[in-house]
Amino acid sequence: MSMQAINVNQISNLLKPIFAPILSEVVKNVLKEEREKEKQKEPYHYLPEFVNKHEAKKILNVRSHATIDNLVKEGKVKKYKNGHSVRFKKSELMDFYKTWKKYQR
């Protein structure tokens, strides 16, 4: 009995139809799980706990610094001072936005 040498390409061609669908399904599932994890992340998760006025504008979806100033004057948003800089707590802004957006327009 003679044994024929099988090279890597032949092995690959034999195994490809068997493993390709399995690998494809695994990749789809991993990507789906990653997308779900991204959806579950808190909005603005990349921002620090205390944000500046520019970042607060993004969170509250407003265009003007004056709007932020008015919200502070009205006592709706709390500011934190550290020397000359003013900061806002991200979690407080996000909690306020959830209730505030209901009453806009």
**Average confidence score pLDDT of the chain:** 86
Whole-model pTM: value is: 0.59
Q: Of the candidates 69, 71, 55, which has an alpha carbon nearest to the alpha carbon of residue 104?
A: 71
Residue-level pLDDT at 103: 60
pLDDT band at 1 (very low <50, low <70, confident <90, very high): very low
Q: Return left, alpha or beta for 25; rule: phi > 0 is left, psi -120 to 50 is alpha, else beta.
A: alpha
pLDDT digits (tens, 9 = 90+) for 14-68: 888 888 888 889 889 989 888 888 777 777 888 899 999 999 999 999 999 999 9
Residue-level pLDDT at 64: 93
Residue-level pLDDT at 3: 53
Q: What is the mean pLDDT of residues 71-93?
A: 94
Task: Say which residue, 49 or 5, is predicted with more confidence.
Answer: 49
